[in-house]
Amino acid sequence: MRLSYEFRRLADGCAKKDMNIKEFIAYLGPRATALLSFVFSIPFLIFIPLPGLSMVFGIIVIFCGISIALNRPLWIPAFVNRHKFSGAILSKSLYTGEKILKICEKWIRPRGEFIARNPWIQRINGLMIFLSGLCLTLPLPPGTNFTPGFAVFVLSVAILEEDAVFLLIGYMAFLVNIAFFTLLPILGWEGIIHLFGYTQTT
């Protein structure tokens, strides 16, 4: 089953049911960890309003990264499990994921599986998702979550499809994210806007 079809099935099933994260993990099935980091990266890519939830989503991504890096079952703190997530929001993320994946699947396929399955590569992938999740939890202005969200998105897809080429793209996205968050405290948010504005006018 292509990943986009799996997302359609999952989206149809959770549209009308609110769930806590433990229930959602059970619903996702055996590939829950990478699927979870994928699903919770999508709202940051399409700027879905997440009042009070963006930090929770970031924390979930952090623990997904730890689980992948250590190759252990996913553990989520009790205070996160107390949150009930709207079935409508979960379903919207999954439907959006399906649309994105239908486009990406033209280029994504299992390539270099021996690299993608390497335990040390998996540790690196988990560490990058963990660090990107930390960036997602920072109390920063809207829009700054796009670069870590995109890195988590690409790495998660690469893990799910065992695509070493897409993993390389994920590593590049992670480096861009690190560069962005390194520049942010130096230039400030207004400086970043001015920098991009200046770039667009030249």
pTM of the full structure: 0.80
Burial pattern 63-94, b for ≥16 Cβ within 10 A else e, equals: bbbbbbbeeeebebeeeeeeeebebebbbbbb
Task: Give the other-Cβ count within 10 Å of 8's Cβ.
Answer: 19
Calpha distance 169→173 (Å, rounded)? 6
Calpha distance 38→149 (Å, rounded)? 9
pLDDT tens digits for range 145-198:
888 999 999 999 899 888 999 999 999 999 998 888 887 766 565 655 555 454
pLDDT tens digits for range 101-141:
888 778 888 888 888 889 999 999 999 999 999 988 887 76
Range of the domain at 31: 3-201
Calpha distance 63→21 (Å, rounded)? 12
Structural domains counted in the chain: 1
